Structure 1
Amino acid sequence: MRVVAGVITLLLMLLVSCDEPSGKKVVNNIEEEVAFDLDEIHKRGRLIVVTDYNSTNYFIYKGTPMGYQLELLNEFCNNLGVKLEVIVSNDVEKNINDLRSGKIDLIAQNLAVTRERGRKIQFTEPHTYSRQVLVQRIEDKDQEKARTGFNDLIRNQLDLAGKTIYVQKGSSYVTRLNNLSDEIGDSINVVEIPDYEAEQLIGLVAEGEISYTICDEILARVNKNYYENIDIETPISFPQKMAWGVRKSSKDLLQVINNWLIRFTKSAKYNIIYKKYFLNRRSTHIVDAGYNSLKGGLVSEFDDIIKKESENIDWDWKLIAALIYQESRFLPEIKSWAGAQGLMQLMPATAQKFGVNNITSPQENIRGGIKFIKWLDKRMALRVDNPEERLKFVLASYNVGLGHVLDAMRLAEKNGKDPKVWEGNVDYYLLNKSQPKYFNDPVVEFGYCRGKEPYLYVNEILERYEHYKNLME
């Protein structure tokens, strides 16, 4: 077999194939990656990133997108001056393929730096360090023994011989266990589970569905706070670098990320982020079963009402939820300085117009807010045909009033911009409507407007909506 394998390897090294449908060359059985670097990312205006979905990297708690990786990415994109677009995938091999094909620009996960992966991608400077540990269940009858160290828990890697260990498919845990099997001179039955993330497998161990899994120690220690009946004290690897991954052709992007990571990981802000997700036990309340996307799958306690009332409008309920979070943080009794009240912050006159009798009633307030949105959408549909574009105009109108948005559209048209396109056209004039040269323009009917608020309002709702779509499906 080794002779045959050697011949095949030699042939692959000598042959270069161009038979792929995409026309990309294949060398050593690895498809040639696209060339797309920092200049192209700046021209596009956004960085497309894939990360994984778990209780440390990326999740939603009480309507707020959170996570160690998300916070690092937001800091980096602010430094880079581009928008962040997040894609969710826990399939490492798929993420590497998507990176090389140009579907994404960066893999932002706790990627263990390995030689095998290094053949396909470039690793950034490490953002943290960890080692792989065995996760096993402490049986109730062994609690006292576990505390004293005299129990049947595996402490010696030699005792893994013949054991069945379940791990995430395509993960570095598979490689480590195969190497460990060689090191101990005996077989370890490794079962790769597709579509399961390491944290889900930890849950299965805690519930007694499986006996063993492997994960990074930093993630294991976080989950130890949630599952008291797991043991994570048996290491199976040396400390490893945890890094992000970029294309080999993205040399400029790699350099910028590395320079930023070296500076940022030494900062007080990074220490706050790291402690928040990995060290602070008080942060474990974020896995509250009610309002965490990982557990209860809820954005808020009003999800059922939002879903029901959203049936009356052609909007995704998660978009309505993103708007409500922006307006009130899901606090039904809240009242603004201007007099707006309730979950959707209706002014009393607006509430009366749309049949809201009890403005602090969650159901009535949401129902009235949705009627108001429909009213705005109907009027804006006379001017903006594209539903995706019209959505932005309606959101801005909900925040600042229809009149100011119409003023911005007239300013855009007067200055040679497309009045039916929001980004880079109408949003610019609404943002700058606080300047005398714009609010004193003859086409303006509603005067001065503090345009920064509606400008950010639209961007923040749409950004939050993308997070909700990523994590609440």
Structure 2
Amino acid sequence: MRRTISLISTLLVTLLFGVQCTFLEKHFGDTFKEPRYILDLQGIQKRGFIRAAVDNNTTGFYIYRGRRMGYEYELLRDYAERIGVGLDLVLTSDIQEAFDKLESGEVDIIAMNLEKTPEREKNTSFTSPIDEMNTVLVGRAKSGRIENWEELENDTIYVRSNSAYKNQLQAIRDTLNLAFTILEDPRHEEALIDAVVSEEIDWTMADQNVAKANTTYYDGLDISWVVNEAGEVGWVTRDNSKELLNSLNEWIEDKQKRFIPDLYAKYFLNSKNGYFRSNSPFSSIAGDRISQYDEIIKSGAEYLGWDWRLLSSVVYKESRFDTSATSYAGARGLLQLMPVTLERFGVDNPNDPEQSLFGGVRYLAYLDKFWLTRVPDSNERIKFILASYNVGHGHVEDAWRLTLKYGENTQSWDAVSQYLARKNDPVFYEDPLVKSGYAKGHLAVAYVKDVMSIFEAYKALVDTGKS
């Protein structure tokens, strides 16, 4: 009877609260709504990574010889190291999509060079200025340099949707009483620059830095006509992330003297860097090659049934694609196998890229078979394989047993990795279930995270290579 009364009381309270909330929201708007998503600096640090929306362009984030590079990427990596977390990048070419992802909590920060406007400041906060940006008109040099705005009378200028460019052009058009047309286009600035080069359109607008970078890829672009003189730009956080905003502003203040200017020079003032970025076959900007060993890596990945970019991520992590690499412990070759493993998997010459690669591939296939029945899901099993490759499958199996002992999901890497990370604690490595003893398991957990992070970057920036 008492239980029945309790259930009825709970139901009545729930119904009453729901009716009240609905009534208040209906009549008083958002005042009584809970914030949809709150994750400030401490929450990000507890989660272990910061997630940032970055522009999908050729200066912000790209791959060069397997290495992650880019102006925004290096800035974000430095900030992530400062607050002691990992970095997760979300590429987007749609500015409004970036704001939507920020509002929904899919990202913690928009790391794009954005101009502060009243519309953009709704429910968001801008950091201190990171940079100043000019905007320029982009056309073909053979069309002749623009000397005044009247020359564009009756022309059409295409601009990126949701950018500040439309408002800048409208102000000029209205002030001078001109009749040129402004059309918003969902394509990214660089895609619009491509359209200028291909003569699909005559004019577009871009940040001067982006435009300059594109002149290293294309001859015949004219970017001499400045639309808007240097305006301050910054990054964006949710307005309920006050601690994150304060932390970013302190970091910007610290880095404005040397780090940010030096990085700017590296990516925008160094013509050699621009040349390699735009011409190297091992740049994700110029093509879809990661290394000179892509062909044998693709063959090895086919043997494993893996995405070739995942295997490339492992090779990069192990040796940076250096066939002569030798670790302090004596591991050698592209996939850094120890002498006993080299012998076991038939590698006579670890400096031979094909032998070395396929020795590691056969070892990875062995580990795949070892975990197959315990972890049927291939996406989860990959992480068990990677950890086993790094620290030995005996240590990962110990963590699996501990996960089983404590009643958690043994098919989940998130669950098992917690116990692997604790294998330097005697409470766990002295447990009778543990067969392989002490291990710096936290390093193997970090290894898996890093390989998967590299893989995500490769997936975002390098094509599969399939015809």
Query: Structure 1 pair 176/370, CA: closer, same or farther in 2 (3 Å)?
Result: same
Query: Structure 1 pair 454/470, CA: closer, same or farther in 2 (3 Å)?
Result: same
Q: Which moved more, 1:122-131 or 1:110-119?
A: 110-119
Alignment partner, residue 229 of structure 1? 220
Aligned positions of 1:36-435 closer than 5 A: 36-38=38-40, 40-119=43-122, 121-139=124-142, 152-194=144-186, 196-266=187-257, 268-284=258-274, 285-356=276-347, 359-410=350-401, 421-423=412-414, 426-428=416-418, 430-431=420-421, 433=423
Q: Which moved more, 1:370-379 or 1:183-192?
A: 183-192
Query: Structure 1 pair 25/115, CA: closer, same or farther in 2 (3 Å)?
Result: farther
C-alpha contact 1:157 1:236 (8 A) present in aligned 2: no
C-alpha contact 1:181 1:188 (8 A) present in aligned 2: yes
Could you tell me which amino acid in structure 1 is paired with residue 311 of structure 2? I
Tell me how far 1:453 sits from its aligned partner.
Answer: 4.1
Query: Unaligned stretches of 5+ in structure 2?
Result: 1-24
Q: Distance in 1 between matches of 2:37 and 2:311?
A: 39
Tell me how far 1:380 sits from its aligned partner.
Answer: 2.2
Q: Which moved more, 1:227-236 or 1:86-95?
A: 227-236
Q: Distance in 1 between matches of 2:57 and 2:153?
A: 30
C-alpha contact 2:216 2:278 (8 A) present in aligned 1: no
C-alpha contact 1:165 1:191 (8 A) present in aligned 2: yes
Q: Distance in 2 between matches of 1:24 and 1:347?
A: 67
Q: Distance in 1 between matches of 2:222 and 2:103?
A: 38
Could you tell me which amino acid in structure 1 is paired with residue 229 of structure 2? F
Alignment partner, residue 12 of structure 2? none
Tell me how far 1:209 sits from its aligned partner.
Answer: 4.5
TM-score (norm 1): 0.81
Alignment partner, residue 4 of structure 1? none
C-alpha contact 2:277 2:285 (8 A) present in aligned 1: no
Query: Structure 1 pair 181/25, CA: closer, same or farther in 2 (3 Å)?
Result: farther
Tell me how far 1:440 sits from its aligned partner.
Answer: 5.8
Query: Unaligned stretches of 5+ in structure 1?
Result: 1-22, 143-151
Q: Distance in 2 between matches of 1:310 and 1:51?
A: 30
Query: Structure 1 pair 192/358, CA: closer, same or farther in 2 (3 Å)?
Result: farther
Q: Distance in 2 between matches of 1:453 and 1:42?
A: 18
Alignment partner, residue 9 of structure 2? none
Q: CA RMSD in A?
A: 3.3
Q: Secondary structure at the match of 1:311?
A: helix
C-alpha contact 2:37 2:104 (8 A) present in aligned 1: no
Q: Distance in 2 between matches of 1:466 and 1:26?
A: 44
C-alpha contact 1:37 1:253 (8 A) present in aligned 2: no
C-alpha contact 2:277 2:286 (8 A) present in aligned 1: no
C-alpha contact 1:439 1:447 (8 A) present in aligned 2: yes
Q: Distance in 1 between matches of 2:416 and 2:198?
A: 54
Tell me how far 1:161 sits from its aligned partner.
Answer: 2.0
Q: Distance in 2 between matches of 1:84 and 1:368?
A: 32
Q: Distance in 1 between matches of 2:391 and 2:39?
A: 39
Q: Distance in 2 between matches of 1:374 and 1:134?
A: 54
Tell me how far 1:348 sits from its aligned partner.
Answer: 4.6
Tell me how far 1:120 sits from its aligned partner.
Answer: 5.7
C-alpha contact 1:125 1:261 (8 A) present in aligned 2: yes
After superposition, the C-alpha distances for 1:268-310 in whole angstroms (9 at most, x for unaligned) are: 3333322221222232222234111122022223333323332
Alignment partner, residue 446 of structure 2? 456
After superposition, the C-alpha distances for 1:50-106 in whole angstroms (9 at most, x for unaligned) are: 111222111111111111111222222233333322211110122222322333222
Q: Secondary structure at the match of 1:134?
A: strand
Query: Structure 1 pair 415/33, CA: closer, same or farther in 2 (3 Å)?
Result: closer
Q: Which moved more, 1:299-308 or 1:58-67?
A: 299-308
Query: Structure 1 pair 37/409, CA: closer, same or farther in 2 (3 Å)?
Result: closer
Alignment partner, residue 34 of structure 1? 36
Query: Structure 1 pair 349/43, CA: closer, same or farther in 2 (3 Å)?
Result: closer
Number of aligned pairs?
A: 436
Q: Distance in 2 between matches of 1:278 and 1:26?
A: 50
Q: Secondary structure at the match of 1:236?
A: strand
C-alpha contact 1:99 1:247 (8 A) present in aligned 2: yes
Alignment partner, residue 18 of structure 1? none
Query: Structure 1 pair 314/50, CA: closer, same or farther in 2 (3 Å)?
Result: same
Could you tell me which amino acid in structure 2 is paired with residue 464 of structure 1? I
Could you tell me which amino acid in structure 1 is paired with residue 327 of structure 2? S
Q: Distance in 2 between matches of 1:361 and 1:320?
A: 17
Tell me how far 1:441 sits from its aligned partner.
Answer: 5.7
C-alpha contact 2:66 2:290 (8 A) present in aligned 1: yes
Q: Which moved more, 1:401-410 or 1:356-365?
A: 356-365
Q: Secondary structure at the match of 2:303?
A: coil
Tell me how far 1:169 sits from its aligned partner.
Answer: 2.4
Query: Structure 1 pair 103/32, CA: closer, same or farther in 2 (3 Å)?
Result: farther
Q: Secondary structure at the match of 1:238?
A: strand
